Structure formats: structure tokens, C-alpha cells
Amino acid sequence: MVYLIFLVVLMPVSVVMRFVTLPPQVQVTGVGGSIWQGSIDTVQAYGRQVEQVEWTIHPYSLLTGTLNVDVKIGTRNSAIYAKTKLQLTRSTMNLTDLMLQTDSKTLVGDTRLPLRSKVAGDITLGISEFTYGQPWCEALSGNLQLHGLEVNNQFGDFPFGSFRLGLDCDQGEVIVTTSEKDNQIGVSGRLWLKANNQVQLQAKIKPTASMPASVRDNLNYLGQADPQGAYPLTYSGRIPGL
């Protein structure tokens, strides 16, 4: 049994790839190393490309029916840089110590956003723990930071600045939260990522001293301000762009 396990994990990845049929939207080049410790130069999928994908399997974890893998993608100078510890069992998938750095243009790719919007800004995702569940998660603890976020569309340029968003899980749904102290434009509230790519937003935005004029001048389109001067931010429907 142990011999068979080591025979498999030491097999060259290039041999294994001969028997793998990838979706037409996925292409890989520069496959090297073994299943145990391998690498791929580039992966192209759905209009996006990642480089220098590397992984290391911990073989002894297989003896307990668990696959433990350390994964690293790119370098800090790459369009996408990420690293995490992945654990797979027959029933679930778990990520720990996930760190991802990219930019809005790379993440959005060719996706058409509402109002033909274009986005710019850097993204840093940090997750201490994620366990897959239905519809999205069983456990989640992390945060998402947006740096220099700017949206451009037919209504003008909107420099939203920096945001810090908390990430949690409740009854299988991903919950994203922020408060006024976590961003430059006075947004506070919560977003739920639900089943079937549905999303619900319940938030508000209150003018701040650092709010750009292009944002402040358009707040009236959101509706009537409450007694504290905050305007409603609400949405319920399919994730925009999907």
C-alpha cells in the first residue's frame, strides 16, 4: 500500500497530463516535476492567466485519507500572486492561510459590468480559514482589502479610495461587512452571497470630509437621506456581470 502511494506521488506530472482532458477554455504550458512536487509555467482559463504555479503534497497525509497540499502561484511582481494550504477529503475542501494579491482589471477580465463600468485598483485577500459547504461555505474567516478603488462609467469617474471588508460565513452564505471607519466614503453595512449566484446588499453611505465631489454630488440618486444624513444602498438579485 505504502509502495503504491509513493509510486503515484513520484510519477511525473507530464505523464499524468497525457491522460487528463481539460475543458476547452483551459490551457496549460510548461508542466514539470512530479505529482508530489510539481509546477506549471502558465495556466490560461476563461480569459485570465496565472504563472508559476507550484505545489507540494505531503505524502504521509494520504495514509489518513486526507490530501494536504501547499500551493503557490506567481511572485509578488506577478499579476496574480497567491499561496495557501489546501486540504482535501472525500467530503470537503479546506483552505488555511490563504493570501492573494491581484488587481481589479485582472480579476474582472472580460466580464461585462453594469453601465459598462471599468474598475481599477489593487486587491489583497487574506483568509485564515475556509471550509467549503452548501451553497458556498461551512466556515470562513478573513478580510478583503481594496486599495485605490476607482470606477469609471457613463456617469463619470468615481475614486472610492480604500476599503476593508470582513468575510464570514452564516448558514452556508458568505457575509461581507464594512463600517465607516473601514473606508474613505462613509459606507457601512452588509452583503450576503446566496445560492444560485444571488446577492443581497443592505448598507448605507454617509458623506465624509474625504469623500470625492464626484461621489458626493450623486448621492441624491440613491434616495432620501435618513435623519443622520446617510443614504440607502440596497440591492437584491443576481451578481452583476454573471
Kindly state whether residue 10 falls inside one of the protein's structural domains.
Answer: no
What total of structural domains would you count in the chain? 1
Q: What is the pLDDT of residue 219?
A: 92
List, for the chain, all residue ranges whose pLDDT scores fall below the cut of 70: 1-10, 241-242
- Helix, strand or coil for residue 104? helix
The distance in angstroms from the start CA to the end CA of the chain is 46
Q: pLDDT tens-digit profile of 153-196?
A: 888 899 999 999 999 999 999 999 999 999 999 999 999 999 99
Kindly state whether residue 181 falls inside one of the protein's structural domains.
Answer: yes
Among 173, 118, 121, smallest CA distance to 151 is for: 118
Whole domain around residue 219: which residue ranges? Answer: 92-238
Kindly state whether residue 190 falls inside one of the protein's structural domains.
Answer: yes
Share of the chain above pLDDT 70, in %: 95
- pTM to 2 decimal places: 0.87
Q: Are 126 and 98 in contact (CB under 8 A)?
A: yes
